[in-house]
Every structure is written in C-alpha cells, then in structure tokens.
Amino acid sequence: MSLADKQYLRIVRDILNNGYYDQNRTGVATYKLPHQIMQFDLEEEFPILTTKYVAFKTAVQEMLWIWQEQSNDVSWLKERNIHIWDNWADENNTIGKAYGYQIAKYKQVDKLLETLKTNPQDRRMIVTFWNIDDLPEMSLPPCAFQTLWDVTDGRLNCMLIQRSGDIPLGVPFNFTQYAVLVHLIARSVGLRPGLLTHVINNAHIYENQIEGMKLQLEREKDAYEAPELWINPEISDFYEFTIDDIKLINYRHCGKIRMEVSG
C-alpha cells in the first residue's frame, strides 16, 4: 500500500468515526475534523491514491495553470477539456482575482525561484493566494492558499496550508499536484525534492459522499504500491515544463469512485 493511501485513509476513517456534524454555507452538511496533517518524503515515494483513480494529468494541469501560466482565465483549462472551475467562472470566463492572478500580481514564483537560488536559507519564502483586499473579487476564496518553502541539506521542503479540504474530491488532487510542483521547483533550482507537509484546517466529508468513502475504505486491502514520477531530464526551467514532460510510471489503482461536488 502506498503511503498516500495509508495516511489519507486514516483521516477518512477518523472523520467518519469521530467527525463533528454540522451545516455549512453549501447547504450540504459535513462531518469534519480540524488540523489534519499528512507528510510525504518525495525522495522516497510519490504520493497519489491507489484505492481510487486520481486524474493525474488534470491535477497537474490545474497546478500549471495556477503556478506556471499564472492565470485566472478558465479558457486555458477548457481548451484542455478540464471543467473543474466551470461552476465558478464569471461572465468574463475568469475566477476573479483568485489563485494565478495573485501569483502574477506580485511575481511570486519569480521571487521564490530567485531566492532559492541566491539565499536558500531565507526563512521568508512564502507564496500566498490570501490577499484580504482582493477576496471580495474572487469567485471562490482559495482553499489551498499558502505554501512555505525551506531548504535543508540540499533538499527542497514545502508546507502546504489548506483552510478547507474536501477530503473525497479536492484533497487527493491537492497533495498530488503540489508534490509535482515541489519536484519541478527543485529541478529548476538545482535541489533534490524533500518533504511535502500538507496541513488541512477543516478536513471534511459531505453527507452525500459518505457511501463513496466507505467503498474506498473497503478497497484498503487491494491497495497498490506507489507509482514512480518521471520528469523530462532535458528540462530544468520551471516555465518550460509541459504536461508531456510529467508522467507516472506504473500507476495502478482500484478504479473511479463517483462523488458529488458541493459548491
């Protein structure tokens, strides 16, 4: 069993058994627990679930849209047949001043790359999407909203902070796509990938997702080992990577589990 399955299913089981039940803004009640944490050593194993299918290419392309394209225009995603942001698109086909907009506004990726190259022991390497002034103009306030970066012994470590985590649907995307991001950034600045620590302030399962989660728990005995991540060895510039340069080798899984998104 992959470490991703092991840590993730522990959280799922804990929420179903001990979660606090209440309503929220979506109108669909959740069971939730605060302050859930997963940690992965990216040199040891690539984190992606095997107890259900995770759309790896979609997850990675969403990450590239935010971090590399630095865009808030969902047209880029639609051109690639990715529709996860369609429900939040405004009349201009954007998600307002959210996610990639905030990276571009302050040149946050460029500053991170430069600091990692010139002052890797800087303790202020933070990329954030949480801009209080711009929150009213965002279609959805960012869920995975901040990363903190560290270099220790030649390894690039990243802490991902998530205010709200839809455990069945959003979270499996989030830790997989940020694991890829750490690999790409590390390659770009001449470091080895290190730890990815994922902190979720409000980890929740919606009522209408419970049966899907129970099915996934039943698959625990059939889980597979983690696949291997392949990144094109000829590319070392963060802005030059495409989806064709990022692949999984031997990704085996137990199949899809369909669950609803609560907006």
User: What are the residue numbers of the active site?
Assistant: 143
Give the closest residue to 49 by CA, choosing from 250, 210, 227, 202.
Answer: 227
Q: Could you give the CA distance from residue 32 to residue 210 in angstroms, rounded to a whole number?
A: 12
Residue 235 CB coordination number (10 Å): 16
Contact 31, 16 (CB under 8 A): yes
Strands 30-41 vs 20-22: parallel, antiparallel or unpaired: antiparallel
The tally of CA atoms less than 13 A away on the side-chain side of residue 31 is 16
Please list, residue by residue across 35-63, b when 16 or more beta carbons sit within 10 angstroms of its beta carbon and e when fewer do: ebebebebeebbbbbbbbebebebbbbbb
